[in-house]
Chains A and B, each alone.
Chain A
Amino acid sequence: MIETMPPAAAAPSSQAVTSLRGRHLLGIADLTREEILLILDTAEAMKEVGERPIKKVPALRGRTVVNLFFEPSTRTRTSFEIAEKRLSADTLNIAVATSSVTKGETLADTARNLEAMSPDVIVLRHSMSGACHLLARICRSRIINAGDGMHEHPTQALLDAFTIREHKGRLEGLKVAIVGDLAHSRVLRSNIHLLNKLGANVWVAAPSTLMPSGIAQFGVTPTTRVDEAVRDADVVMLLRIQLERMQGNFFPSLREYFTLFGMTPARLKLARPDAIIMHPGPMNRGVEIDSEVADGSSSVILEQVANGVAVRMAVLYLLAGGEA
C-alpha cells in the first residue's frame, strides 16, 4: 500500500511547542517566542474554565502552592490564589512585612523552611531584584516570579499580551507606547522582552529623570515627548509613578507630571481611534492617568485583571501540571 503524505494542515507546525523548557518562570527574558505563544494559547482554554458554572478543574489536585509575598500586593496575590484554586491546588499564603527582611539571609532561610514542607510551587514577590533566581538555585520547588524588585514581573507582561491579542488579534507590527515611571518598573522590563519577541513596535516615554540610560539597547524607541510616543499608537500602556521606590526628586510635582505626561482625553486623541488603554495597577488617578480615560471606552484595565487569572492558570498548569 502506498502511504501518501498527510496534507499540510495536519502536519504539526515545526515551531509549535507543547511544554516549557524551564522548571521555573523567572522572567520573560528566558522564554522563547514559541513558549510565550504556548502560554497565551493555554490561557485561552483556561479563560473558558472561568466562565463555567463550576469554575474548577482537577488538574493540580494534590499539589501545594505557596504564595510568598514580601511586598504588599492585592491584585497579583489574589489573582494567583484564584488561579491556584480553580486548578484545585492547595494554597498557602505567607505575607511577610518588608521591614522584617534583611538582604538575602532571611529569604534563603524562609525558603529552606518552606521547602521542608515540600510545596510543589512557590510564587514569590520580593523587593529585591534577583530574589526569584536565588530561590530557584536553592529550592527544589518550581518558582514563579510574581515581581522581583525592579527586574521582572513576567505574569503581568503575559496578561498584557493576552489582553492585547484579544483586542487586536495579534501583536506583530502594533505600535505600543509605554508611558510612566520607566526607571523603577519591572512591568516595563518584562513587557519590553515580550513585546519585542512577538514583533511589536515599542515606544517608551518618560521625563529624562525616569528614563533608564541605555534603554534603546533593548530595542525600544525612547522619547521624552509623550505625544510622539502616543501618536498613532495601537496600545497605550501607563505605568504607575512609584513614589515608594523613589529616593529624591525626579520631577517638580505630581501636578506637573500630570500636565506633561498624564494621559488625558486630549492626548489620547493622538492615538489610533481604536487604541486601547492599559494600566497594570494600582492607578494613581490624576497623576499618570485622567479618570475620564481610566473609565472611558478605550480602557481595558479591568479586562487585564480578569485575564490575569487565566494567564496564571496557564503558567501554573504548564509548570506544575506534569510529573512531579
Chain B
Amino acid sequence: MPVVVDTQRMGRSLARMAHEIVERNRGVDELAFVGIRTRGVPLAQRLARAIRDITQVEVPVGSLDITLYRDDLMRHTVGPQPLVRLTDIPFSIDDRKILLVDDVLFTGRTIRAALDALIDFGRPRAIQLVVMVDRGHRELPIKADYVGKNLPTALTQSVRVRLDEIDGRDEVVLEETNHD
C-alpha cells in the first residue's frame, strides 16, 4: 500500500496552495472557506491558518454536509441512508469568493452536490475549488482551481487521505480495491 504523499509533502502542498490562493485573488478580503465534511473541514482550517500566517488576515471557515444533495440518495448504490451531519456556515456567502475544499476530487459528483447546496445559501461572487488530491476519472464537467497533488489512478484503485485531526497522521495512500 504505497504512501504517495507523506506528512512533509502534505504540509508543503498546503503552504503552496495557501500562497496560490492569496496570489490569484490579489488578497484575501472577500474570501471564505467552506470545507466539505468530513476531511474537507480540517483541510480548510489548515489553509485558513496558513493564510493568516502569510497575510495576518483571518479568513472565515464553514463546514458543509452534502448528504441531502447527493444524486445517488434514491438509488440502490448507497444502500442504507448516509449519515446526515451538521452544516455550519456562520457567515453570509453573498458576494464573497468561496473556496470550496475537499480531500479527493474523483467523479465530481460530490462537488456538484456541494455547488447546489452552496447556491441555496446565497449568491457568492465566485466559487473556487481546492482539493488535496485530483485522481481523475471525472463524470461531470468539473475542474479544481488548486490541487495539492495530481495523482493518475486506475478505477480499481482507491485513494485515501488521512489527516492528523481525524486519523492521527497526515498521508495520502493509494490502495488496490478488491472486487467481489
Instruction: Evaluate whether A19 and B68 lie within 8 angstroms (CB atoms) in the complex, with A1-B1, A321-B73 already known.
Output: no
User: Residues of A contacting B67 with CB < 8 Å?
Assistant: 59
Residue B80 CB within 8 A of the other chain:
yes
Binary contact readout B50-87 vs A (1 if CB under 8 angstroms, 0 otherwise)? 00000000000000010111000111101111111111
CB pair A48–B87 under 8 Å, yes or no, is: yes
**One of A2-10, A242-250, A286-294 at the interface:** A2-10
Binary contact readout A292-324 vs B (1 if CB under 8 angstroms, 0 otherwise)? 000000000000000000000010011001111
CB pair B83–A42 under 8 Å, yes or no, is: yes
Residue A44 CB within 8 A of the other chain:
yes
Instruction: Evaluate whether A45 and B65 lie within 8 angstroms (CB atoms) in the complex, with A10-B167, A10-B168, A18-B83 already known.
Output: yes
Cα of A45 to Cα of B83 in the assembled complex, Å: 10
Shortest distance from the beta carbon of A234 to any chain B beta carbon, whole Å: 25
Residue B154 CB within 8 A of the other chain:
no
Instruction: Evaluate whether A324 and B74 lie within 8 angstroms (CB atoms) in the complex, with A48-B88, A52-B120, A58-B68 already known.
Output: yes
CB interface residues, A 179-195, toward B, < 8 Å: none
Looking at chain A's contact residues, is the secondary structure mostly helix, strand, loop, or mixed?
A: loop
CB pair B121–A53 under 8 Å, yes or no, is: yes
Choice from B68, B87, B166 contacting A59 with Cβ under 8 Å: B68
Binary contact readout B100-132 vs A (1 if CB under 8 angstroms, 0 otherwise)? 000000000000000011001110000000000
CB pair A59–B122 under 8 Å, yes or no, is: no
Which interface class (under 10, 10 to 19, 20 to 34, 35 or more) fits B? 20 to 34
CB pair A321–B168 under 8 Å, yes or no, is: no
Cα of A93 to Cα of B74 in the assembled complex, Å: 23
Cα of A288 to Cα of B122 in the assembled complex, Å: 45
- Closest 3 CB pairs between A and B? A19-B80, A57-B68, A7-B168
Additional A-B contact list (19), CB under 8 Å, known A54-B120, A322-B74? A1-B3, A10-B166, A10-B168, A18-B81, A18-B83, A19-B80, A48-B86, A48-B87, A53-B121, A58-B69, A59-B68, A62-B74, A63-B74, A321-B74, A322-B73, A322-B78, A322-B79, A322-B81, A323-B75
Contact surface of B with A, Cβ cutoff 8 Å: 1, 3, 65, 67-69, 73-76, 78-88, 116-117, 120-122, 166-168
For this complex, 7 residue pairs linking A to B, each with C-beta atoms less than 8 Å apart, are: A3-B1, A58-B69, A58-B116, A59-B68, A321-B74, A322-B81, A323-B78
